[in-house]
Amino acid sequence: MRRELIRAVVLVALSAITGWIGWSGHVHLLPIAVSYPLLWSLARTRLQATAVSAGYFLAASRGLPQGVANFYSSDIWPGLLLWLVASSAFVTVHSVLWTSHGGWQRPLRYLAACLAMAVPPFGIMGWAHPVTAAGVLFPGWGWWGLAAMAAGLVVMTTHYRPAATMAMTGLWLWSAAEWTLPILPASWIGVDLEMGASLGREAGLERQQALIEIAREHPPGTTIVFPESALGFWTPTVGGHWQKGLRGTGVTVIAGAAVLEASGYDNVLVQISAEGQDVLYRERMPVPGSMWQPWRAWIDDESGARAHFFANPAVNVGDLKVAPLICYEQLLVWPVLQSAIHRPDAIVAVGNGWWTAGTSIIDIQQASSEAWARLFDLALVISFNI
């Protein structure tokens, strides 16, 4: 009994270390997460599998309590509660699908867990998915690399795990030696801002003019990307001011904003030039809880952000087809894979991460975007506010 307890403690500790290091925000460390299915498969009881899953996910998402405290200017306790709630989907799926039976039952059940955490409804909370490491181990392989990654994860739950570990380690070392960063599309630039919580909240014409001046610094023909929420609420007045400000520049601006609707609001990217303005993209998956609050409909209150789930996965900007990912979408699997089906030329990843101070959340988002861009050999534009 004591030996079994020690074994369980070791498994949970190793799982937590796997989550902590793999999701530290360094793209080259993402393959550490591949150890999770191995540890999950070594559990001897469902309770052990539950503890292993909890250790991995809680360590991987450790920045959430501090981020929630920053966002709401509160103490750590609400964040700790949300941290535990957020882990429930991942832990429940991997606990329910764990089995003590040998053969191929456990590998097939792990594959089912991978699929469940990659797509809605469970995929809505599908952070820290080990399959994200595909871009590091199989850069440029595209869908074949994704399939190889899924197969490798499944094999990690079988008796062939030593061979799978050696193969993935070799691929990891080779990738690290040959790694190249995703390139920017020609004439595109992502602008990072340091405007803190005021971005999107201080949306007067003075702030709009300051952003316009940044755009005007770039040469004609440039497409400039600003972070999520950069323009605040999108109105005809704001759009007209931007169009006027961009006259004679020859630049195109893509920026985050919010569009008020009768049934809530949309978190969007807008496209602006001197010739016109348009809503380019509506976020498929806003942050659950702080933005997307579907339970409000039960009390006839639809003031939260709307989720467009599988809408507009790829949009055209000039001659380029891009896959937009706003903030939370960069932590999930299905938005980027849905976009990849449409064969985009680039990923445009934006965020407003002022509330992540003291955490590695932004680094994790950017590492995930970089990994997906390398997997599908796409250009990458990143724009964040801190």
Distance CA 231, CA 234 (A): 7
Q: Token match 């509506």: residue?
A: 282
Residue 277 has φ and ψ, to the nearest 5°, of -150, 150
Residue at 26 is within a domain = yes
CATH number at residue 210: 3.60.110.10
Question: Is 185 within 8 Å of 254 (Cβ atoms)?
Answer: no
Question: Is 87 within 8 Å of 104 (Cβ atoms)?
Answer: no
Task: Report pLDDT digits (tens) over 264-305.
Answer: 899 999 999 999 999 999 999 999 988 998 887 677 667 789
Please state the domain count of the chain. 2
> Do 168 and 204 share a structural domain?
no
Residue at 317 is within a domain = yes
Question: Is 256 within 8 Å of 229 (Cβ atoms)?
Answer: yes
Task: Report pLDDT digits (tens) over 294-344.
Answer: 887 677 667 789 999 999 999 999 999 999 999 999 999 999 999 999 999
Per-residue pLDDT averaged across 192-208, rounded? 89
Distance CA 385, CA 326 (A): 12
Question: Is 37 within 8 Å of 110 (Cβ atoms)?
Answer: yes
> Do 201 and 154 share a structural domain?
no
Task: Report pLDDT digits (tens) over 31-90.
Answer: 999 999 999 999 999 999 999 999 999 999 999 999 888 887 777 887 888 898 889 999
> Do 163 and 123 share a structural domain?
yes
Question: Is 56 within 8 Å of 15 (Cβ atoms)?
Answer: yes
> How much is the pLDDT for 128?
97
Q: Token match 């290091």: residue?
A: 21
Distance CA 146, CA 133 (A): 9
Last residue of a domain, one of 149, 178, 207: 178
My answer on whether omega of the bond before 121 falls inside 30° of 0, hence cis, is yes
| Averaged pLDDT of the chain | 94
Q: Token match 């809505």: residue?
A: 124
384: CB partners within 8 A, 6+ apart = 192, 193, 227, 350, 351, 352, 353, 362, 366
Last residue of a domain, one of 134, 160, 178: 178
> How much is the pLDDT for 382?
98
> Do 215 and 71 share a structural domain?
no
> Do 304 and 218 share a structural domain?
yes
> Do 298 and 234 share a structural domain?
yes
Residue at 12 is within a domain = yes
Q: Which of 171, 102, 165, 115 is nearest to 139 (CA)?
A: 171
Residue at 183 is within a domain = no
**Quick one: pLDDT band at residue 4, thresholds 50, 70, 90?**
confident
Residue at 87 is within a domain = yes
Q: Alpha carbon of 195 to those of 38, 209, 242: distances in Å?
A: 43, 14, 19
> Do 285 and 172 share a structural domain?
no
Neighbours of 205 (CB within 10 A): 12
> Do 217 and 124 share a structural domain?
no
> Do 239 and 113 share a structural domain?
no
Last residue of a domain, one of 146, 178, 210: 178
Residue at 196 is within a domain = yes
> Do 220 and 155 share a structural domain?
no
> Do 157 and 251 share a structural domain?
no
In angstroms and rounded to an integer, the radius of gyration of the C-alpha atoms of the chain is 22
Q: What is the DSSP string of 351-377?
A: EE-GGGTTSSHHHHHHHHHHHHHHHTT
Q: Which domain holds residue 24?
A: 2-178
> Do 42 and 24 share a structural domain?
yes
